[in-house]
Structure formats: structure tokens, C-alpha cells
Amino acid sequence: MNSLKLRLLALCLAAPFLSAAADLRIGMLGLDTSHATAFTEILHNPQAKDFIPGARVVAAVKGGSSDIESSWSRVEGYTKTLVEKHGVKLYDSIETMARGVDAIMIESVDGRPHLEQFRACLKAGKPVYIDKPLAGSLKDGLEIFRLAKKSGVPLFTASSLRFAKNTLAARAGAIGTVTNAVCWSPAHLDPHHPDLFWYGIHGCEALFTVMGTGCESVRRGTTADGKIEVVGRWRGGRIGIFRENDKGYGGMAQGTKGHLAVGSYDGYAPLVAECIRFFQTKVAPVNPDETIEIFAFMEAADESKRRGGAEVLLNDVLAKARKP
């Protein structure tokens, strides 16, 4: 059975959740990323091959960051598509938009404003999905989760790479206990974010989906051709490696019962389906502790770079980020 048939089967199995969301109204914050239009197309177009029923994007706040070219140069075009093609209504404030929706997607490509954007969503009490990166720093990411827990507002964040078929199969035990893995993805950099937060997060999320939590330390170096390589040491001697690869996404996991190719990009539909299920159930499919560990891994990679490739403990970067 090919991957498309497997995905359609998965969506059919999810139908009891998705069909219940027939009238779900989504508000979108940040129209400066292709995710805004791609996610909306999946939800709105019954002819799309990955169409997911159960929700519509009905409202949005444009957003945008004047110091990131990939934000300010695209926000108007994506906004035009949402308004003219999909009938999305624009609002000037998050608070006003939030009153008329059932759930919120924070899509701003820039992670730095996510903390304040999430703060503005709290009064509405609606479930919130925050697209990658969760925040512009580990410290802000910790604060977002603290606020979510304190307020009781359901929160979910993840890369679409988490929900690739083989990656989930490895996590579920298809090759036994995973003893080591390597995952790769592009890792374009942005000067306003820690290196891996901007794009390397995709490969890091795939790595943690396969390996699970328990990473204790990180060393950052480079491959023979000068690309980023981050080696993580997990409890029990397991090793997980992220490698920069400009040619695409992938990886390999080794387990006690064999090995499996992992880390592929299977499209946005699996992530969007998880978002709709989350909006309906208010239960996030990813434990906050795992997401926090991913961001600590990426922050530790930057610290290791600053220290010339020295080993950095995740507990140390977490303790630093938690200081007032």
C-alpha cells in the first residue's frame, strides 16, 4: 500500500474526530508564511488531494516582521490569497479576532513575537497551535508553556516532520527500542534566532520523535563538507545525530529489531489533521516536556558552538533559561 493510500486510511480512521469539527472556526495569526495558505487550502478545497474536512479558516490578523525579508516581502501576497480566494476576514487585533473563533493558529514565521502573541490569546481561552519555531529563544518557549499551564489554555506545537509515517512507526516500536538515529534536513539560518530554531528544527523534531526524551548532552561540529552536525547523548548510551542537508529531509533509525528509514517530509496534511483533532479534544499530541527538550537540544548546540565544540549539558542550558 503506497503512502497516499495509508494517509487516506489514517484520515478515515480519524473521521469520528474530524467530522465532529464540521463547524470549527479557526483564526490565524501571522500571514507571512506559506503555511498560512497551504493549511487553509487543505481545509477549504474538497478537490485537493489532501483535503481534510472539519474546519475553516474564517479570520486572521496579518502580522509580519519588518527586519526579516522572508516575512515582510511575502505577507501581502499571502494575505491577498487568504482574503480573495478563501474569504478570510481580517482583523486589526488578536483580541477582536479571538472572540469570533473556536481555535487559533499562530503562524508567524518569526518566533520572537510568539510569546506576546500567545499572551494576547490567553483571555479568549481557545486552544492554540503555534507553528515552528515555538519561540525565538528557549527562555520564551519555557514562558509560553508556563502561561499555558497556569491559564489552562490548551497548547500544541510541532513541525510537520513529526507526523511522517515511517518516523511514527519507529517511535511506535516497529524496529524495537531505538538505540541510535541520525536525521537530516535543511538548516537555513536567521540572525535573529538560534541557528537550528529557524529551519534545522525540522530534522531535530524528527530525531526526537524517533529517539524520545532523555537527551543529556550535545556536541556541535561540522561534517566533512562543512555542514552542521550535532551529536546528542541520551541516557543509557543511545546516540542521536542531527545533520544539515540542503538536499532534503531523511534519516535512519537503528533499533533492537532492525533499522528503518525515517525523517521524511510527508506533506502538511498529517500535521493539519492533528491540529483539528487537538482543537476538538483539547489534548495535545506532543508532551510539553518533549518539545522543551527539543529546544534545549537546539540551544545547547549553539552553546557548544560558542565553546568550540565542547560538550554541553541540556540541564545547564535549561537552568540558565529558567533564571529570572
The answer to whether 132 touches 105, Cβ cutoff 8 Å, is no
Q: How many helices (H) and strands (E) does the chain have?
A: 14, 13
Residues 250-295 pLDDT 10s: 999 999 999 999 999 999 999 999 999 999 999 999 999 999 999 9
* Span(s) in the chain for CATH 3.40.50.720: 3-160
**CA 280, 205, 146, 91 torsion: positive or negative?**
negative
> How far is Cα 288 from Cα 23, in angstroms, rounded to an integer?
28
Residues 309-324 pLDDT 10s: 999 999 999 999 999 8
Rounded mean pLDDT of 78-95?
97
Residues 6+ away with beta carbon under 8 Å from 81 = 37
Which residue is associated with the grid cell 516575512? 71
Residues 141-176 pLDDT 10s: 999 999 999 999 999 999 999 999 999 999 999 999
The answer to whether 231 touches 250, Cβ cutoff 8 Å, is no
Per-residue pLDDT at 7 exceeds 50 = no
Per-residue pLDDT at 25 exceeds 70 = yes
Per-residue pLDDT at 9 exceeds 90 = no
Which residue is associated with the grid cell 544539515? 244
* Model pLDDT, residue 14: 47
**For the chain, what is the mean pLDDT?**
93
Residues 6+ away with beta carbon under 8 Å from 15 = none
Among candidate residues 25, 259, 232, 222, the one with its CA nearest the CA of residue 126: 25
What are the backbone dihedrals phi and psi of residue 66, each rounded to the nearest 5 degrees, phi first?
Answer: -75, -15
Residues 6+ away with beta carbon under 8 Å from 125 = 151, 152, 153
| Alpha helices (H) in 181-268, listed in sequence order | 195-198, 201-211
* Model pLDDT, residue 23: 78
Rounded mean pLDDT of 293-315?
98
Q: What is the CATH number of domain 161-268+291-322?
A: 3.30.360.10
> How far is Cα 266 from Cα 173, in angstroms, rounded to an integer?
20
pLDDT tier, 8 (very low <50, low <70, confident <90, very high otherwise): very low
* Span(s) in the chain for CATH 3.30.360.10: 161-268+291-322
Query: Could you tell me whether strands 215-222 and 228-234 are parallel, antiparallel, or unpaired per DSSP bridges?
Result: antiparallel
Rounded mean pLDDT of 60-69?
94
Q: What is the CATH number of domain 3-160?
A: 3.40.50.720
The answer to whether 78 touches 37, Cβ cutoff 8 Å, is yes
Residues 6+ away with beta carbon under 8 Å from 17 = 54, 276, 277, 280, 281
Rounded mean pLDDT of 22-42?
94
* Model pLDDT, residue 148: 98
Per-residue pLDDT at 197 exceeds 70 = yes
